[in-house]
Amino acid sequence: MEMDSYRLNWLIFVTLALSAVPCSVGKKYISALGDPGMARDGLRVAFEGWNFCNEVGAEAPNMGSPRAADCFDIYPVGDGHKIKHRVTEEDNKLSVGEPFVGGTPSVLTDVDLYAVEKELYLASKCQVDEADQKPWHFWMVMLKNGNMDTLSGLCPKDGHKVGPFPPEPRFPCFGKGCMNQPLLFHEYTSLQEDNTTMKGSFYGTYDLDADLSKGFDNISYSNVTWKKEVGKGSWVFHHVLKTSEKYPWLMLYLRSDATTGLSGGYNHQTRGMTRIIPESPDFTVRFTLNVMRGGGPKSQFYLMDMGSCWKNNGQPCDGDVTTDVTRYSEMIINPSVTAWCRADNLNSCPPYHTLPNGTRIHRTATANYPYGAYHMYCTPGNAQHPEEPYNICDQYSNPQPQEILQIIPHPAWGDYGYPTEPGQGWIGDPRTWELDVGRMSQALYFYQDPGTPPVRRLWPSLDVGTEIYVSKEGEIAEWELSNFEVVIPDPSQ
Ligand SMILES: *[C@@H]1O[C@H](CO)[C@@H](O)[C@H](O)[C@H]1NC(C)=O
Ligand SMILES: *[C@@H]1O[C@H](CO)[C@@H](O)[C@H](O)[C@H]1NC(C)=O
Ligand SMILES: *[C@@H]1O[C@H](CO)[C@@H](O)[C@H](O)[C@H]1NC(C)=O
Ligand SMILES: *[C@@H]1O[C@H](CO)[C@@H](O)[C@H](O)[C@H]1NC(C)=O
């Protein structure tokens, strides 16, 4: 044992001495989150429903605006505990047009802006103020409907409003109303009969006309259930997502979003869990993931999905949807999802790959470029000088242009603690991951206009979950996420 730890220390010394990364000896690290490792008994969790372009579009009948929260404090009482909720059913059912404390009267009738303010209102009820800490709010369950009605004129193209246009096969839609928000049901967190287990859920379906007395067979379905023992361990978030004939493309993530500002893919103020926004290259993300069912061959299961925003000239985003650009990077762990990037398909590859030591390899360097590490890359729709050949990202699915870099398990990512072989972390291989997301995301390619200063890469959204891309009916994904933590250098040092 002594020998081993001596060798380990020597190895760490040598690694640090040779590393291109700034020496981190003596640096103090802290959690960036309000609820480090999901260990806090008094849970803070919220729900948001997004249509194809990350807005509301229209509320589902009797469901209110698609924002809800489950936030409570827990007190010892006698031999047991008591849960006291902060958000009422009335708050959760608030619907466009209904006033609430702090709501701006001028947005009351705008269904999209109403949801934004409802989220801020729910956050004000959930807010945790701790000494010397920035206030924080909640984990965010995000559920998105991938249907797109081209005739609705609802979704802008690269941030520019466009009128209705004829249907295209790449946009699933069964007809008018296909972009609807879900029926959402909420079981408030409660203590179970054993007096020590706390449990609650958000669940529902997009099929508004379903006969729910028959259950959720043959219809779309989502269910996020959280569970924890009082005083012990982590919350475990259990997720189920199922597609249907009418809803063949669905997304369900658990997000840690910034507590203020714009979060990835969303051009409005949000509230969240991340008190201090992590910045590349120095931060780590840890969590435990158990994938039980994969969601079929087109389920793009994101081990880590990171979202941010900056302009092509390197300036931070400011809400101008024609020049703000959402930046996404995702590690997909479903082994059925393979590399579209190939030496003979360069438009799906980022122009270069950067090795951990900083060496860049151009995508035409066929002997060294790790084509197998990339599922897909696409450049922002408003990029002025993308390198030929290129693909433009889906231009309608964000309020603004976006850039997407999707990676898959490959030895190229091993240095950062990411999976190196297909199947790692997949069904039957539950793991606790410790991902050097900071250093990895610093090395990734993102587009900027030539000659502009490289941006500081800040990541207001980090999440885990799946996007079941257009699939046959009844594809089911099921997974558990726990112990989620983001570690950053102590900014007070
Ligand atoms: C739970 O608490 C209630 C009230 O304090 C008590 O009556 C009951 O016996 C407890 N149940 C268990 C399983 O400990
Ligand atoms: C679901 O579909 C299957 C196969 O078509 C059918 O046997 C079953 O009765 C359906 N269930 C419900 C609740 O409609
Ligand atoms: C949601 O999932 C939990 C955990 O698997 C399960 O106990 C519960 O019955 C589900 N709820 C519904 C409405 O399907
Ligand atoms: C970087 O790493 C590669 C692969 O290990 C190696 O070939 C190259 O010489 C290294 N470059 C530098 C500058 O250390």
Q: 3-class secondary structure for 387-407?
A: CCCCCECCCCCCCCCEEEEEE
CB 447 within 8 A of CB 312: yes
Task: Give the burial class of 252: count Cβ atoms within 10 A of its Cβ; 0-12 exposed, 13-18 middle, 19 or more buried.
Answer: buried
Please state the atom number of ligand 3 nearest to the C-alpha of residue 216.
14
Pocket test for ligand 1, best of 74, 77, 79, 191 (most atoms within 8 A of CB): 79
CB 469 within 8 A of CB 144: no
Q: Is residue 87 part of a domain?
A: yes
Q: Is residue 423 part of a domain?
A: yes
Q: Is residue 5 part of a domain?
A: no
Task: Give the burial class of 316: count Cβ atoms within 10 A of its Cβ; 0-12 exposed, 13-18 middle, 19 or more buried.
Answer: middle
User: What pLDDT is recorded for position 248?
Assistant: 97
Helix, strand, coil shares, percent, the chain, to 5: 15, 35, 50
CA distances from 304 to 266, 283, 360, 380, 393 (A): 18, 14, 23, 21, 19
- In order along the chain (493 residues), what is the average pLDDT of each group of 10 residues? 37 39 72 98 98 96 98 94 98 97 92 96 97 93 98 94 94 97 98 96 97 95 98 98 97 97 81 97 98 98 97 93 95 98 98 98 98 98 97 91 97 98 98 98 98 96 98 94 98 86
Q: Is residue 6 part of a domain?
A: no
CA 440, CA 413: separation in Å to the nearest integer? Answer: 8
HSE-up of 227 (CA within 13 Å, CB side)?
A: 11
Q: Which ligand is nearest to the CA of 473?
A: 2
User: What pLDDT is recorded for position 1?
Assistant: 34
Q: Which ligand is nearest to the CA of 81?
A: 1
Cβ atoms within 10 A of the Cβ of 250, count? Answer: 29
Range of 302's domain?
23-489
CA 193, CA 80: separation in Å to the nearest integer? Answer: 11
Q: Is residue 164 part of a domain?
A: yes
7 CA to centre of ligand 4 in angstroms: 24
Sequential DSSP letters for 136-202:
B--EEEEEEE----GGG--S-BTTB--------TTS---STTTTPPPEEEEEEEEE-TTSSEEEEEE
Residue 344 near ligand 1, beta carbon < 6 Å:
no
| Token representation of residue 185 | 């049901």
| Token representation of residue 359 | 């060496």
Q: Is residue 382 part of a domain?
A: yes
200 CA to centre of ligand 1 in angstroms: 19
User: What pLDDT is recorded for position 13?
Assistant: 39
CB 291 within 8 A of CB 425: yes
3-class DSSP state for residue 212? helix
Give the position of tokens 């993308």: 386
Residue 4 near ligand 1, beta carbon < 6 Å:
no
| Token representation of residue 102 | 């702090």
**Which H, E and C letters describe 218-243, residue by residue?**
CCCEEEEEEEEECCEEEEEEEEEEEC
3 CA to centre of ligand 1 in angstroms: 52
Name the nearest CA neighbour of 198 among 333, 313, 346, 85.
Answer: 85
User: What pLDDT is recorded for position 262?
Assistant: 81
User: What pLDDT is recorded for position 17?
Assistant: 38
Using omega within 30 degrees of 0 as the cis cutoff, is the peptide bond preceding 491 cis?
Answer: no
CB 155 within 8 A of CB 18: no
User: What pLDDT is recorded for position 108?
Assistant: 94
Give the position of tokens 């409005």: 268
77 CA to centre of ligand 1 in angstroms: 11
3-class DSSP state for residue 14? helix
Tally of domains within the chain: 1
CB 476 within 8 A of CB 466: no
Sequential DSSP letters for 72-103:
EEEEEETTEEEEEESS-HHHHT--TT---TT-
CA 323, CA 307: separation in Å to the nearest integer? Answer: 16
- Which amino acid is located at 77 in the chain? V
| Token representation of residue 344 | 């003979």
CA distances from 161 to 42, 52, 164, 360, 383 (A): 43, 14, 10, 38, 18
CB 378 within 8 A of CB 345: no
| Token representation of residue 376 | 């897909």
10 CA to centre of ligand 4 in angstroms: 22
Which residue has the CA at smallest separation from atom 11 of ligand 2? 217
Q: Is residue 3 part of a domain?
A: no
Q: Is residue 16 part of a domain?
A: no
